[in-house]
Amino acid sequence: MEDTSKKARSRSGFELLPPSPEQRKHLEADLTREEADVLLRHGTEAPFCGLFLDEKRPGVFTCRLCGLPLFLGGEKFDSGTGWPSFTAPFDRDHLREERDTSYGMTRTELLCARCGSHQGHVFPDGPPPTGLRYCINSVSLGFTPAGEPLPDKLGHGAPEGQSWRRAQGGNDR
Ligand SMILES: [Zn+2]
């Protein structure tokens, strides 16, 4: 389905227009100090991931700041490091990658493609079929259990604010 608004929309149909300065101010005011340190000032983040260790339900992990879906709960795996990780993003359009050379390492940093907040890193040592390991900070994410409405923090409307079903056509890769 093609339409004229597709430029600002991701493959799975989500609006990728960044929050307005006013919306951003409102969203940032809602963060705890720890969340703000990781999401907005990622230099202070420790170089490991600690994602929702006990969250095993199916559902959608979303950006803590702007609510964009970033990962599916069913695609979490035990990386053997003691920290759960993901093998694939919800939608490749929803994450932006940047080279990160902090801590004396060269890593690929992951940012929310909509609001630019820091999410974690992706490493090329994951299991098949993707071979990727997405290592995400738990404070960077929110979780919406399957069947519950996704957040709609920016007021864009559907598919935000509705429950997500895989059959809707997302999860392209
Ligand atoms: Zn975001």
Q: Whole-angstrom Cα distance, residue 120 to residue 145?
A: 22
pTM (2 d.p.): 0.84
Q: State the total domains in the chain.
A: 1
Supply the pLDDT for residue 161.
97
Residue 43 lies in a domain: yes
What is the full per-residue pLDDT of the chain (173 aa) written as tens digits?
Answer: 445 444 589 999 999 999 999 999 999 999 998 889 889 987 555 555 666 656 778 889 999 999 999 998 866 666 655 455 788 999 999 999 999 998 888 999 999 999 999 998 999 998 888 999 898 888 889 999 999 999 999 999 999 999 997 644 444 43
Instruction: Find the 112 Cα to ligand 1 centroid distance in Å.
Output: 5
Q: Whole-angstrom Cα distance, residue 95 to residue 92?
A: 6
Query: Angle at the Cα of 94 (from 141 to 53), degrees rounded to 5?
Result: 25
Catalytic residue among 49, 63, 112, 135: 135
The contacts of residue 115 (CB under 8 Å, 6+ apart) are 18, 19, 24, 27, 63, 65, 66, 68
Instruction: Find the 2 Cα to ligand 1 centroid distance in Å.
Output: 25
Question: Domain range for residue 12?
Answer: 6-150
Supply the pLDDT for residue 52.
65
Active-site annotation holds for 135:
yes
Instruction: Find the 90 Cα to ligand 1 centroid distance in Å.
Output: 13
Token couple for 31: 């963060």
Reduced to 3 states (helix: H, G, I; strand: E, B; else coil), residue 68 is coil
Residue 28 lies in a domain: yes
Residue 92 lies in a domain: yes
Residue 132 lies in a domain: yes
Find the radius of gyration of the CA atoms of the chain: 15
Residue 15 lies in a domain: yes
Instruction: Find the 116 Cα to ligand 1 centroid distance in Å.
Output: 6
Residue 161 lies in a domain: no
Residue 100 lies in a domain: yes
Contact call for residues 151 and 102 (beta carbons, < 8 A) = no
How many other CB atoms are found less than 10 A from the CB of residue 101?
A: 9
**CATH number of the domain to which 118 belongs:** 2.170.150.20
Closest CA to 86 of 47, 37, 141: 141
Supply the pLDDT for residue 56.
73
Residue 58 lies in a domain: yes
Contact call for residues 84 and 51 (beta carbons, < 8 A) = yes
Residue 15 bridge partners (DSSP):
9
